[in-house]
Amino acid sequence: MDALARLFCSPARLKLLRLFIFNDTANYSGSDVAFRAKISSAVARKELAALMAAGVIRRRGEGRGVKYSTNNRFPHLEPLAAFLRETTVVGPQEVLAALRKAGTLRLVVLTGLFSGAVEPKIDLLVVGDRLDERILAGAVHAIEADIGREIRYTIFSTEDFRYRFGVYDRLLRDIFDYKHRVILDKIGL
């Protein structure tokens, strides 16, 4: 069977492809792969075996020291990476739906990874009241599993954000001076 024919047959495999292609210099253990992609260990083992058979990833080490990484010698790596970059889009509605469970949202800004800007220090700014950080972290992790990359994010209370915005905080200047997209604004920026 052709290597490319083995690639796309399940959502879990697509998550793993994104994880390895978008983080091509990283090495992951089997349990780390399952955690980052939000799939079971059994599914992760099955999909890792299929991706190794296709030649997209390689395995190093033995026993508990096994690590998986992107095979940079895979002949179709660049076109596959370009295809995944073009088709991996998490829309603003999906981001808001995931974040709403964490509390009362007042402002959500996408930048960095979501806007194509390289310079910003964060990818997601969340401002709200009574935000549960644990639930918010879980929501961000779910988004990370879908896009295959780590999301750098920060959260502020509404009062703290207004103060920082008023004193021209460096982090906020970096966000608003570069390419960004406001997907929710109940503060009135």
Reference 140, options 150, 130, 132; nearest CA is 150
* pLDDT computed for residue 64 by the predictor: 83
* pLDDT computed for residue 118 by the predictor: 62
* pLDDT computed for residue 3 by the predictor: 58
Burial of 181 (C-beta count, 10 Å sphere; 0-12/13-18/19+): exposed
Model's pTM, two decimal places? 0.78
**Judgement on whether residues 78 and 132 belong to the same structural domain of the protein:** no
**Judgement on whether residues 12 and 75 belong to the same structural domain of the protein:** yes
Q: Mean pLDDT in each 10-residue stretch from start to end of the chain (189 residues)? A: 61 90 90 92 94 93 90 92 80 90 93 73 92 94 88 94 93 88 90
Domain region containing 81: 4-87
Report how far apart, in Å, the C-alpha atoms of 187 and of each of 130, 165, 180 are: 15, 12, 17
* pLDDT computed for residue 117 by the predictor: 65
**Judgement on whether residues 24 and 66 belong to the same structural domain of the protein:** yes
Residues 154 and 171: their CA atoms lie apart, in Å, by: 10
* pLDDT computed for residue 1 by the predictor: 41
Q: How many structural domains compose the chain?
A: 2
- CATH number of the domain that 10 lies in? 1.10.10.10
Spell out a b/e string for 131-165, using b for 16 or more CB atoms within 10 Å of the CB, else e. beeeebeebbeebbbbbbbebebebbebeebeebb
Residues 20 and 152: their CA atoms lie apart, in Å, by: 18
- CATH number of the domain that 98 lies in? 3.30.460
* pLDDT computed for residue 33 by the predictor: 94
